[in-house]
A and B are shown apart, each in its own frame.
Chain A
């Protein structure tokens, strides 16, 4: 590939796209360059002529660069890559590990040391199921990217969006559970029509119920927020790894 490295580096520098996207375009061009060069040689051109002709063919004009950029940079991708470009330095990774460990240890402490979760809302189960789903996906992807090192470009980002969807589901369940519990609790006390949330203040039984509601909901919300942070960290860690692998492969091609 040394023959066309300068050309590829030039295209890489011109494309104003996130590196993972650029890498895919560079791979495609790199392969086509090599094959076009071989095709010209087969047609009887000298190596020099074939090289010049190939380079002429693959020089991307400013218009082509702008068009390629416009085609690929969707707002969603822009948002995703804004995150995946981060956490490249050792300090950022170190900080991530510390945050991750702190969250896990504090959550474990709460779960094991208090009867807090005995009276938790039933919404805790679907939230934990979503967390379990994200954890299974994380383990599978972790195995694929870190242990098996199956860096097939097509599979690299498979499943990562599902981890992000799990975050959305956890958040939805938390919010839904919060208001659901509030509504259900209000049904057990003096009902005050649409102002059911004021029902708790009407008498001492209601006050007792409101404390129960608080216990149920706060344990659920803690689980919800904890699960949300863990799932986001799963996604953040994996998307950075995928981005790094893509970048590394592009670097091999470009020799940068």
Chain B
């Protein structure tokens, strides 16, 4: 399984990965649903461009954290949906703790501003 690495240089990348894995945590979704749901749930704060989304989805799929499957909706239409794997669930649970730590220290440092 992929090692958790939340270093500052890879923070944005990990942030996007964490968002995607969290959105997929409870049910499988299509690519467009992932992007729209992240946008909706964040009050349009996290605007997910698909140019960013596909490389992340395909990378996560390659690492075995999510699984992409094609479903045939009609003879001429196939759709791909993504489902989180047990490894993915384990990975995002670990990341959740690490993100909490990061923000804890972040706000501690930022707290200096209000003193």
Contact = CB atoms under 8 A, between A and B. Distances in A.
Nearest to B31: A32
Interface string A50-91: 000000111111011001100110000000000000000000
A33 B30 CA distance: 11
A103 to B, nearest CB: 37
A59 B51 contact: yes
A56 B49 CA distance: 8
Contact of A36 (B36, B51, B72): B36
Given A31-B79, A31-B80, A71-B62, A154 B35 contact: no
B15 to A, nearest CB: 16
A32 B55 contact: no
B41 interface: no
Contacts of B51: 58-61, 63-64
Main secondary structure of the interface of A (DSSP, over half): helix
Contact of A31 (B55, B58, B77): B77
A32 B58 contact: no
B62 A58 contact: no
B80 A57 contact: no
Nearest to B80: A28
A63 B54 CA distance: 12
A111 interface: no
A210 B30 CA distance: 67
Contacts of B49: 56-57, 59, 61
How many of chain A's residues touch chain B, expressed as a range? 20 to 34
Interface string B55-71: 10011001000000110
Interface residues of B, number: 22
Main secondary structure of the interface of B (DSSP, over half): helix
A248 interface: no
Given A27-B78, A27-B80, A36-B36, A153 B70 contact: yes
Contacts of A35: 30, 32-33
B50 A32 contact: yes
Interface in A174-231: none
A71 B57 CA distance: 10
A164 B51 CA distance: 36
A29 B58 contact: no
B60 to A, nearest CB: 10
B34 to A, nearest CB: 9
A58 B78 CA distance: 19
A171 interface: no
Given A60-B50, A64-B52, A31 B78 contact: yes
B65 to A, nearest CB: 13
Contacts of A32: 30-32, 35, 50
Interface string A145-166: 0000000111000000000000
Given A28-B80, A29-B50, 13 more contacts: A27-B80, A28-B54, A31-B30, A31-B32, A32-B35, A35-B32, A57-B49, A58-B50, A68-B55, A71-B58, A72-B58, A152-B72, A153-B70
Interface of B: 30-33, 35-36, 49-52, 54-55, 58-59, 62, 69-70, 72, 77-80
